[in-house]
């Protein structure tokens, strides 16, 4: 028979370890800041981990592109930055999300919230 106090202690240690990993993951993802530039450098865009634009830089050449060309170039550069930020976040999260214990805990939470 398992000692309940020992089992409780192990569970608390496991939860504390998960919390440390989650805090580290959150900090690393929060630090994501991706910069993408157009091929000729007319436009530069920064995005965070959620893909929110945090900075836009336009060169003097960008201002001479015309409205439609500049808009298209901006959208293309934003998409590139967002894609890169998303890939980086997935790479950072992979060790965390591939942990079988964490996957089981996430599934339990999903099940609980789905049935609630």
Indicate whether 1 belongs to any domain: no
> pLDDT for 17-30, tens place per residue?
888 888 888 899 99
Give the structural domain span for 25: 14-114
**Per the domain annotation, does 75 fall within a domain?**
yes
- Element (H or E) spanning 34, and its range? strand 33-37
Rounded-to-integer distance, Cα 110 and Cα 44, Å: 39
Condensed to tens digits (0 to 9), the pLDDT of residues 35-51 reads 999 999 999 999 999 99
User: What is residue 95's predicted lDDT score, i.e. its pLDDT?
Assistant: 84
Residue 37's pLDDT is what?
98
Residue 43 lies in a domain: yes
- Per-residue pLDDT tens digits for 92-104: 988 887 878 777 7
pTM of the model: 0.74
CATH number at residue 86: 3.30.1310.10
Phi, psi of 37 (to 5 degrees): -130, 150
- 44 part of a folded domain: yes
The string of pLDDT tens digits covering residues 40-86 is 999 999 999 999 999 999 999 999 999 999 999 999 999 999 999 99
pLDDT at 116: 57
Residue 8 inside a domain? The answer is no
14 pLDDT above the threshold of 70? yes
Give a yes or no: residue 2 inside a domain: no
- Is 80 within 8 Å of 43 (Cβ atoms)? no
Q: What is the pLDDT of residue 62?
A: 96
Residue 84 resides in a domain: yes
Question: What's the number of domains the chain is made of?
Answer: 1
């Amino acid at each position: 028979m398992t000692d309940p106090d020992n089992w409780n202690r192990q569970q608390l240690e496991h939860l504390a370890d998960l919390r440390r990993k989650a805090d580290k993951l959150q900090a690393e993802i929060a630090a994501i800041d991706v910069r993408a530039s157009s091929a000729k450098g007319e436009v530069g865009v920064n995005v965070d981990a959620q893909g929110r634009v945090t900075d836009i830089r336009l060169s003097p050449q960008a201002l001479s592109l015309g409205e439609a060309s500049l808009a298209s170039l901006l959208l293309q550069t934003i998409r590139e930055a967002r894609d890169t930020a998303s890939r980086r976040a997935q790479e950072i999260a992979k060790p965390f999300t591939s942990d079988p214990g964490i996957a089981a805990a996430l599934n339990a939470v999903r099940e609980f919230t789905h049935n609630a």
